[in-house]
């Protein structure tokens, strides 16, 4: 089977699908290759579902810029097309003088990143909003919310298909070769192996993006693309405790931000859960270890004194595709055209951990700007 595509996207997670929706047009051959039977079976269905406002990320990074833009674009899209979401707002709660001292720094950084409506609440103001939360002060972030990421992916697919894009499931990219005017991609599907050529190739392979970059001949150790898997577990909170807070409640993150800390989170049906935890792992395994329940309980009790040990049940886990090793400073998203590696039109998206969901529409526009000149 030999055919020629204009644009091929590897990976039907939220990022690949967002890009497919952005680039699909009647007069373009656009393909999405997905190794699984369905879309969004990996990180895009194993996350907190939070529309972040962009407080945490160092100024000027892609994470900061694309989160801020993505937040606004996502609310616009949800409002216009009826995609399930709720602008709940969030509190970042300080429970010690030391943490209270961090709030101003977080607020300043958030404001520089363009997060809207941030303000510091005194103890009294915090208690007025959330009487059941314990703490000495907090930041209110009104533009933080939650989204139905499954509905968002369905929307992206509908958009992409309207533009004529095709999604091939159970189709794993297993080889990439640079050819005269693009790339020859080898694919394994249920019927065997075939290859085709594509002018532009976009690597949105999530937890496997480093392997896909390697298929194209990139030395991933040298390029700094080697991923480190970092697991995040969630515990559901029962016992009717979901009615005791209205907003998302986050702790003040530790200085080296590996994650945003175990926080209180809701789904659109109002079910409450705690998570995600953080521990680096060697392989992909989504089991939740019930022995971690004590850690969740201890972390949450500090600002949610109403939670009882028996309220917690293991729920699910996700794996972050991190570029930083344990103890290293936060690393930015890599989203780049690999022309300088002799691979023009090969676009790598590496390390798209949080806030990848929030940033998905902004990432799609960013990628479009990288490839528009080739078309
Ligand atoms: C615990 C946790 C909590 C998070 N919370 C939030 C949050 O609250 N807010 C937020 O904004 N973000 C959050 N994120 C981040 C967000 O979930 C991710 O950034 C986003 O889902 C990444 O999407 P993706 O499309 O890049 O990757 P994925 O969803 O992993 O999709 C990649 C796809 O590529 C496919 N693939 C891989 N290799 C191949 C191949 N060779 N051939 C064909 N297909 C292939 C895979 O099967 C997969 O379907 C969280 C992440 C985690 C882990």
The mean pLDDT value for 54-66 works out to 95
Q: What is the mean pLDDT of residues 93-98?
A: 95
DSSP helix/strand/coil, 264: strand
Digit-coded pLDDT (tens) for 238-287: 999 999 999 999 999 876 656 667 899 999 999 999 999 999 999 999 99
Ligand 1 near 70 CB (within 6 A): no
Q: In this predicted model, which residue has the larger pLDDT, 262 or 84?
A: 84
Ligand 1 close to Cβ of residue 311 (< 6 A): no
Give per-residue pLDDT as tens, 13-37. 999 999 999 999 999 999 999 999 9
Q: Which long-range contacts (CB under 8 A, 24 or more apart) does 79-83 make?
A: 81/155, 83/147, 83/148, 83/151, 83/152, 83/155
210 lines ligand 1 (CB under 6 A): no
Question: What's the number of CA atoms in the CB half-sphere (13 Å) around residue 88?
Answer: 26
| DSSP string of 359-373, one letter each residue | THHHHHHHHHHHHGG
Say what the pLDDT of residue 95 is. Answer: 95
For residues 256 and 173, the model is more confident at 173
Q: What are phi and psi of 90, to 5 degrees?
A: -140, 155
**Can you tell me which atom of ligand 1 is nearest the CA of 187?**
42
Ligand 1 proximity of 63 Cβ (cutoff 6 Å): no
The residue nearest atom 19 of ligand 1, judged by CA position, is 356
As a whole number, the mean pLDDT across the chain is: 96
Q: Which residue is closest in CA terms to ligand 1's atom 51?
A: 47
**Ligand 1 touching residue 204 (CB < 6 A):** yes
CA atoms in the 13 A half-sphere facing the CB of 17: 26
SS3 152: helix
CA distance 17 to 308: 40
The number of CA neighbours under 13 Å toward the Cβ of 144 is: 27
Q: Which two tokens stand for residue 305?
A: 């004194």
Mean pLDDT value of segment 207-222: 98
241 with 235: CB under 8 angstroms? no
Residue 74 · residue 18 · CB < 8 Å: no
CA atoms of 252 and 94, how far apart (whole Å):
6
Residue 216 Cβ contacting ligand 1 at under 6 Å: no
Atom of ligand 1 nearest to the CA of 50: 8
**pLDDT tens digits for 113-152?**
999 999 999 999 999 999 999 999 999 999 999 999 999 9
Distance of CA 13 from the midpoint of ligand 1 (Å): 6
Q: What pLDDT score was predicted for residue 148?
A: 98
Ligand 1 centroid to 231 CA: how many Å?
13
Distance 357 CA to ligand 1 centre (A): 8
The values of phi and psi at residue 290, to 5°, are -65, -20
DSSP letters of 195-253? EEEEEEEEE--GGGHHHHHHHTT--HHHHT---EEEEEEEEEE-TTGGGS--SEEEEPP
φ and ψ of 283, to 5 deg: -145, 170
Confidence of residue 61 (pLDDT cuts 50, 70, 90): very high
Q: Computed from CA positions of residues 273, 278, 279, 284, in that sequence, does the dihedral angle turn out positive or negative?
A: positive
Residue nearest to atom 9 of ligand 1 (CA): 50
Contacts 24+ apart (CB under 8 A), 182-189: 182/4, 182/345, 183/8, 183/216, 183/345, 183/346, 185/8, 185/33, 187/33
Give the neighbor-by-neighbor strand order of the sheet with 50-51: 50-51, 145-147, 85-86
191-210 pLDDT tens trace: 999 999 999 999 999 999 99
Which of 337, 295, 318 shows the shortest CA–CA distance to 201?
337
Write down the pLDDT at residue 291: 96
Atom of ligand 1 minimally distant from the CA of 11: 34
54 CB near ligand 1 (under 6 Å): no
Counting ligand 1 atoms within 8 A of each CB, the residue from 38, 47, 52, 63 with the most, and so the one to mutate, is 47
Average pLDDT of span 153-173: 98
pLDDT of residue 354: 96
Cβ–ligand 1 contact at 363 (below 6 Å): no
Q: What is the pTM of this model?
A: 0.97
35 lines ligand 1 (CB under 6 A): yes
Q: Is the CB of 42 under 6 A from ligand 1?
A: yes
- Gap from CA of 319 to ligand 1 centroid (Å): 9
Q: By C-alpha distance, which of 189, 160, 141 is closest to 33?
A: 189
Q: Looking at residue 1, what is its pLDDT?
A: 44
Supply the DSSP symbol for 178. E
Q: What is the pLDDT, as a whole number, of residue 259?
A: 66
Q: For residue 373, give every residue at least 6 positions away whose Cβ sits within 8 Å of its Cβ, in sequence order, or none.
A: none
User: What pLDDT is stored for residue 257 in this prediction?
Assistant: 53
Task: Please identify, by atom number, the ligand 1 atom nearest to the C-alpha of residue 215.
Answer: 41
Q: In which residue are the tokens 């680039």 written?
A: 23
End-to-end CA distance of the chain: 24
CA 78 to chain centroid, in Å, comes to 17
249: β partners: 91, 264
């Amino acid at each position: 089977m030999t055919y020629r595509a204009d644009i091929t996207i590897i990976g039907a997670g939220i990022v690949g699908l967002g890009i497919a929706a952005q680039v699909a047009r009647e007069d373009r051959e656009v393909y999405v290759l997905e190794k699984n039977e369905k879309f969004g079976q990996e990180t895009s269905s194993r996350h907190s579902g939070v529309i972040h406002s962009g407080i945490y990320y160092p100024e000027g990074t892609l994470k900061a810029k694309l989160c801020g833009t993505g937040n606004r674009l996502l609310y616009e899209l949800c409002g216009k097309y009826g995609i399930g979401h709720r602008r709940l707002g969030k509190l970042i709660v300080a429970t010690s003088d030391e943490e209270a001292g961090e709030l101003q720094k977080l607020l300043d950084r958030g404001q520089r990143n363009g997060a809207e409506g941030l303000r510091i609440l005194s103890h009294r103001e915090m208690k007025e909003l959330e009487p059941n939360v314990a703490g000495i002060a907090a930041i209110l972030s009104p533009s933080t919310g939650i989204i139905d990421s499954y509905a968002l992916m369905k929307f992206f697919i509908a958009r992409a298909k309207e533009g004529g894009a095709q999604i091939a499931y159970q189709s794993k990219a297993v080889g990439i070769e640079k050819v005269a005017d693009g790339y020859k991609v080898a694919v394994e599907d249920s019927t065997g192996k075939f290859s085709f050529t594509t002018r532009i190739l976009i690597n949105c392979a999530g937890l496997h993006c480093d392997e896909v970059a390697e298929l194209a001949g990139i030395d991933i150790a040298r390029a700094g693309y080697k991923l480190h898997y970092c697991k995040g577990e969630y515990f559901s909170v029962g016992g009717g405790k979901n009615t005791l807070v209205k907003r998302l409640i986050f702790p003040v993150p530790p200085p080296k931000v590996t994650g945003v800390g175990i926080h209180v989170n809701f789904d659109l049906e109002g079910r409450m859960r705690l998570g995600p935890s953080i521990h680096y792992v060697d392989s992909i395994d989504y089991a939740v270890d019930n022995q971690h329940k004590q850690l969740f309980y201890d972390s949450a009790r500090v600002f949610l004194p109403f939670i009882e040990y028996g309220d917690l049940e293991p729920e699910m886990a996700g794996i972050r595709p991190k570029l930083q090793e344990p103890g290293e400073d936060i690393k930015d998203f890599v989203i780049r055209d690999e022309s300088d590696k002799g691979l023009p039109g090969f676009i790598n998206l590496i390390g798209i951990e949080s806030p990848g969901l929030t940033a998905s529409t902004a990432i799609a526009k960013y990628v479009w700007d990288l490839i528009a000149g080739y078309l």
